[in-house]
């Protein structure tokens, strides 16, 4: 625990702020998924992210996407039970949109009749034409059920 605290305090101010944002959002999303309907939670996250700026579109930054990925995966590694792919994707999507980066949240399924795991579901976020949060090795095997775009 002390090593974790020392690691956290050694980060610069912006990284600490991003980690705290990831922790708080992932916790709220985890609770929200248990207490609220999905669309209600999504509306709350949309409000948090703010409306995208159309006239003042910011330049996309690959470094910002990597930083958000780093924060989300770092928090998820320390809370693996509660940090499901859906929790990570919802929180990561909200943070990316808050930074002015348009993103898309995908939820998909994979069905394999002759497998030890015949059914699997996964959630991921794409930003800038690539997977920002939730990238896995066999992602192309998943059929997209829904794609939620930035509003």
Q: What values do phi and psi take at 112, rounded to 5? A: -135, 115
Residue 41, pLDDT above cutoff 90: yes
What is the DSSP annotation of 64-84? HHHHHHHHHHHHHHHSTTT--
Of the candidates 104, 102, 96, the residue with the CA atom closest to the CA atom of residue 146: 104
Task: Provide the mean pLDDT of the chain.
Answer: 88
Q: What is the CA radius of gyration of the chain?
A: 16
Residue 58, pLDDT above cutoff 70: no
DSSP 100: T
Q: Rounded to two decimals, what is the model's pTM?
A: 0.87
What pLDDT is recorded for position 55? 36
| pLDDT tens per residue across span 125-148 | 999 989 999 999 889 989 999 999
Tokens of 94: 């909200």
Task: Please give the order of strands across the beta sheet that includes 119-127.
Answer: 130-133, 119-127, 103-111, 143-149
Q: Identify the three-state secondary structure at position 143.
A: strand
> 95 Cβ partners below 8 Å, 6+ apart?
18, 21, 22, 25, 49, 68, 71, 72
> Can you tell me the mean pLDDT for 82-103?
95
What pLDDT is recorded for position 43? 95
Give exposure, 8-31, as e/b (b: 16+ Cβ within 10 Å). eeeeeeeeeebbebbbebbbbbbe
DSSP 56: T
Of the candidates 130, 113, 111, 114, the residue with the CA atom closest to the CA atom of residue 122: 111
């Amino acid at each position: 625990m002390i090593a974790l605290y020392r690691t956290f305090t050694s980060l610069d101010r912006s990284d600490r702020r991003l980690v705290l944002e990831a922790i708080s959002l992932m916790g709220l999303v985890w609770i929200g998924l248990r207490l609220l309907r999905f669309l209600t939670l999504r509306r709350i996250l949309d409000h948090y992210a703010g409306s995208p700026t159309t006239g003042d579109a910011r330049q996309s930054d690959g470094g910002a996407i990597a930083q958000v990925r780093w924060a989300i995966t770092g928090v998820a590694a320390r809370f693996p039970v509660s940090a499901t792919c859906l929790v990570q994707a919802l929180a990561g999507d909200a943070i990316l949109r808050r930074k002015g980066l348009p993103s898309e949240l995908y939820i998909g399924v994979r069905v394999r009749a002759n497998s030890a795991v015949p059914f699997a579901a996964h959630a991921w976020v794409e930003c800038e034409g690539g997977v920002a949060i939730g990238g896995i090795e066999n992602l192309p095997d998943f059929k997209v059920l829904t794609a939620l775009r930035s509003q």
